[in-house]
Chain A
Amino acid sequence: MEFIARVLPQEGGLEVSRSRLYNGVIGLLGVFTLVGIAFGLHAMFVGYHHVYGVSREVPWGLALAGYVFFVVTSTGLCLVSSIGHVFGFEAFKPIAKRSVFLAIATIISGFLVIAFEIENPWRMAVYNIISPNLTSSIWWMGTLYGAYLFFMLIEFALLQMGRHKLAGMLGLLGVIAGVAAHSNLGAVFGLLNAREFWHGPYMPIYFITSAMMSGCAAVIFFHWVAYKINGWKMSAEMERSLCSVAKLGALLYVVIMFFTTWKMISGMYGNPPGKYEAVMALINGPYANNFWYGEVGLGLVIPFLIILAVRARNLAAMAFGSACSIVGIFVMRYDLVVVGQIIPGYHELNITNLPHILPYTPTLHEWMVTLAGFSFCAILFMMGERLFRGHLSEDH
């Protein structure tokens, strides 16, 4: 109990709105979460392949994309927050506490979604430990994300207790575990020789870089929302800090635009079999709307142009851009997961009745499980504001 008392601030900081609306929203999100979990349990009970849109050819769908989205965001929040409180850049210090908390909230939400994507999650708890396969990226990812969550929880508790030096060391361990885990998540896709769209070193590198980008968007959006819904006044330091995050974000949008451009060019140049068909599905095929409006428009161009237009100063505008970006990044994860599977392995053999592009459409069950992840993340965020009194630290 004493430990909890030291972690949970009893006074000071900022008081969260006690309005019925605030509580009502938390309640509504709770209902969404429970309904989503009910859908997930139903799917687990009757068998996922009977109620999800996934198939033997496209075994990964919306739920896995949702998981990837959450863990990318979590890693990004961890990395962006570490710039200040681990690596000592003053401008990034005020955002540390809320960002570390959100890194924990997003990864837990990711685990909630993946629990209804993996067919037998309870077996994972046992056989991951007693029957490990060291050549498996999934094993490394699961294990390292476990370590990552552990380090982040301790780090957050230490930050609350004001033990900044020790928290910084745990933060460094979190960064190392996070980068290792996240690049292994990229490797889950990148090390599949038979999937040309994924195969190669691009995936782990892209995952880390786009995590940083997602992290910047999430930091700006959630800080702005936290202050807005509670009617708090942001300190000048906090505003300056968020402007610095926006500048870093602008750089990362450009980096991801550069990465995406070359990914697309290398997929078209000389029609590499398997890769070409997948890339064309994005550029000019059934996934073109997702790619151009979702990934390029919402995910990259709009938030980047907004940061440039307001010269990284107008927080409300940048929060709007970040919201666009978060939606666009979700589409990015969806396309990354699905488009990697839609080109049949035997596509070059001219098989009769084999579609050129395999179909996949998420079902209601998959949407509800993903929605549960988002609702639960929002609950954790709003409860976090209340319990940790606006995540203010004494020295800021």
Chain B
Amino acid sequence: MNINELEKMKNEGVEHLPSLERRAFLRAGLAITGLYMGGTILSLTSARDAQGAVGSMPTSSKYPYKPHYSMVMRQNLCVDCELCMEACVRTNHVPSYGWRTTILERTRTIGPDQKETIFMPVLCNQCNEPPCVRVCPTVATYKDRTTGIVVMENRKCIGCKTCMAACPYNARYFNEEVRAVDKCNFCLDTRLSKGMKDTACVEACPAHVRIFGDLSDPNSEVYKLVHQPETTVWVLRPETGALPNVFYMNVVLDI
């Protein structure tokens, strides 16, 4: 109906409206107001869990491996001392031209003429859906059946380097000495299999940036950190669908 025609019509008034219709109108109004109110109140509270912020956090309470090894980076504790990198090189015989773990430096503007430097340690994310494992023609790289760690079987590596191209995290390099692609394996061969409980980088970190443990164990520190209420936990490049097992968070500093 045209608004001009509507204008010409006689006003019927509200006195003849049935009370049912009046109530329906009020209810709609309340519903709309309530929705906005509720929304406002909700947005004042921090998210109860980190899912909204990340999108690819583990959604099921069951983890596919036991122990399901993972690492949490308490990023704002990192001071870039690089002791983790040194320990890794020593433990895993990483050649000078390669790395299994490194620290990336980021700069963020936090005000006019104010900048903040963030140190971001990175390593293999031991993904649940690892793109590198998918593309390897000879199963030279695979998920360890017990721990879920992405490992290499050097003698099968043909050196096609597709895993390096496929990795979203730049976690792989070709080691000319062993003639195979090399990568972080959470020190599975050098420490974990010898009964040690953590990786070389975790042990070396003086600031306790890196927390390592079994994500499938609700009593482990990694489980507690990742499932902490009111804390945002994130992963790197979630859009690739790799479902990484290295999580990042910032801790509240009491300074």
The chain A residues found within 8 Å of chain B, CB to CB, are: 46-50, 54, 56-57, 59-60, 118-121, 123-124, 127-128, 131-133, 135-139, 142, 188, 191-195, 340-341, 344-346, 349-354
Contacts and interface: CB of A to CB of B under 8 A. Distances in A.
B55 interface: no
B104 A191 contact: no
B137 A120 contact: no
Nearest to A337: B165
A136 B169 contact: no
Contact of B157 (A49, A120, A137): A120
Given A118-B158, A127-B156, 16 more contacts: A49-B176, A54-B161, A56-B172, A59-B164, A118-B160, A119-B157, A119-B160, A120-B158, A121-B158, A124-B160, A139-B137, A188-B135, A192-B135, A193-B131, A345-B169, A345-B170
B106 A48 contact: no
**Interface residues on chain B, size class:** 35 or more
Contacts of B134: 135-136, 191
Interface string B146-173: 0000000001111111101111111011
B139 interface: yes
B100 to A, nearest CB: 11
Nearest to B239: A193
Contacts of A118: 158-160
10 contacts: A47-B176, A49-B176, A119-B158, A128-B158, A136-B135, A188-B135, A192-B166, A340-B165, A351-B120, A352-B107
Contacts of A191: 134-135
B77 to A, nearest CB: 18
B138 A351 contact: no
B174 interface: yes
B127 to A, nearest CB: 11
Interface in B157-199: 157-162, 164-170, 172-174, 176, 179-180
A56 B164 contact: yes
A330 B137 CA distance: 26
Contacts of B107: 350, 352
B90 interface: no
A358 B188 CA distance: 32
A31 B24 CA distance: 92
Contacts of A344: 170
A297 B169 CA distance: 36
B113 interface: no
B67 interface: no
A192 B165 contact: yes
A118 B158 CA distance: 7
A205 to B, nearest CB: 20
Interface string B108-134: 100000000100100000000001001
Interface string B82-122: 00000000000000011000001111100000000100100
Contacts of B242: 193-194
Contacts of B139: 127, 131-133
B204 interface: no
A350 B117 CA distance: 11
Contacts of A341: 165
Given A57-B170, A123-B155, A192-B166, A352 B137 contact: no
Contacts of A127: 137-140, 156, 158
A194 B132 CA distance: 11
A56 B171 CA distance: 9
A142 B136 CA distance: 12
A330 B29 CA distance: 67
Contacts of A59: 161, 164-165, 174
Contact of A346 (B97, B104, B156): B104
B166 A48 contact: no
B27 interface: no
B108 A138 contact: no
A340 B166 CA distance: 11
Given A123-B158, A137-B135, A194 B166 contact: yes
